[in-house]
């Protein structure tokens, strides 16, 4: 898992309201049993919720950061975000797909239609594309 992010040159940071002590216990009692060697990225404590507030995921009433995933480009611009309630986990494969797509856009200027995977057709933005996307992109490519 970590190697896939490393190959893409991506830095991952986990942030929660939990204390550093809680992160250590979580790592030792749970994560190290789920992931060989434990969770391989830094876990940051957002003790006062300021990071969560900055990203719009702090729940004032519950006093917690809601689960969020943010893809931030090399210029510091948020390119994508996903916020989920605790009962539903995130999808690492989808995160990697989106990272690859954003990196491809950055490198080529092409855009990715729904469900794009590496090697699948992309779209080259142009006024001539208006009304003709259907000629270049097929629904079966979304799945």
Q: For residues 108 and 35, what is the distance between their CA atoms, to the nearest angstrom?
A: 35
Enter the tokens of residue 10.
């991506």
One domain, residues 101 and 61: no
One domain, residues 100 and 74: no
One domain, residues 33 and 59: yes
One domain, residues 14 and 69: yes
Enter the tokens of residue 2.
């970590």
What CATH number should be reported for the domain holding residue 34?
A: 3.40.30.10
Residue 6's H or E segment, with its range, is helix 2-7
Query: Is 79:50 a contact under the CB 8 Å cutoff?
Result: no
What pLDDT was estimated at residue 99?
96
Kindly report the pTM of this predicted structure: 0.86
What phi and psi values does residue 37 have, to the nearest 5 degrees? Answer: 85, -5
What pLDDT was estimated at residue 39?
92
What pLDDT was estimated at residue 114?
87
Q: For residues 122 and 141, what is the distance between their CA atoms, to the nearest angstrom?
A: 10
What pLDDT was estimated at residue 48?
94
Number of structural domains (the chain) is 2
One domain, residues 41 and 77: yes
One domain, residues 74 and 112: no
Q: What is the pLDDT along the chain (143 residues), one digit of tens a residue?
A: 889 999 999 999 999 999 999 999 999 999 999 998 899 999 999 999 999 999 999 999 999 899 999 999 999 999 999 998 888 888 999 999 999 999 999 999 999 888 898 888 899 999 998 999 888 888 887 87
Q: Which of 88, 113, 128 is the last residue of a domain?
A: 88
Q: For residues 136 and 127, what is the distance between their CA atoms, to the nearest angstrom?
A: 14
Domain residues for the domain of 71 are: 2-88
One domain, residues 117 and 78: no
One domain, residues 53 and 119: no
One domain, residues 6 and 34: yes
One domain, residues 83 and 26: yes
Closest CA relative to residue 113, chosen from 78, 139, 77: 139
Please say whether the dihedral angle defined by the alpha carbons of residues 94, 6, 41 and 26, taken in this order, is positive or negative: positive
Give the count of alpha carbons within 13 A of 58, CB side only.
15
One domain, residues 6 and 72: yes
Q: Which of 46, 62, 88 is the last residue of a domain?
A: 88
Q: For residues 120 and 109, what is the distance between their CA atoms, to the nearest angstrom?
A: 15
What pLDDT was estimated at residue 81?
95
């Amino acid at each position: 898992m970590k190697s896939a992010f490393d190959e893409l040159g991506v830095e991952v940071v986990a942030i929660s309201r939990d204390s550093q002590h809680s992160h250590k216990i979580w790592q030792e009692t749970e994560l190290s049993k789920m992931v060989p060697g434990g969770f391989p990225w830094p876990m940051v404590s957002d003790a006062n919720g300021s990071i969560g507030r900055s990203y719009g995921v702090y729940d004032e009433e519950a006093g917690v950061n809601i689960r969020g995933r943010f893809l931030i480009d090399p210029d510091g611009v948020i390119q994508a975000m996903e916020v989920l309630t605790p009962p539903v986990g995130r999808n690492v494969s989808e995160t990697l797909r989106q990272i690859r797509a954003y990196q491809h856009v950055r490198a080529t200027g092409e855009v990715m239609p729904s469900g794009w995977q590496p090697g699948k057709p992309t779209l080259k933005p142009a006024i001539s594309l208006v009304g003709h996307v259907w000629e270049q992109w097929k629904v079966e490519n979304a799945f």
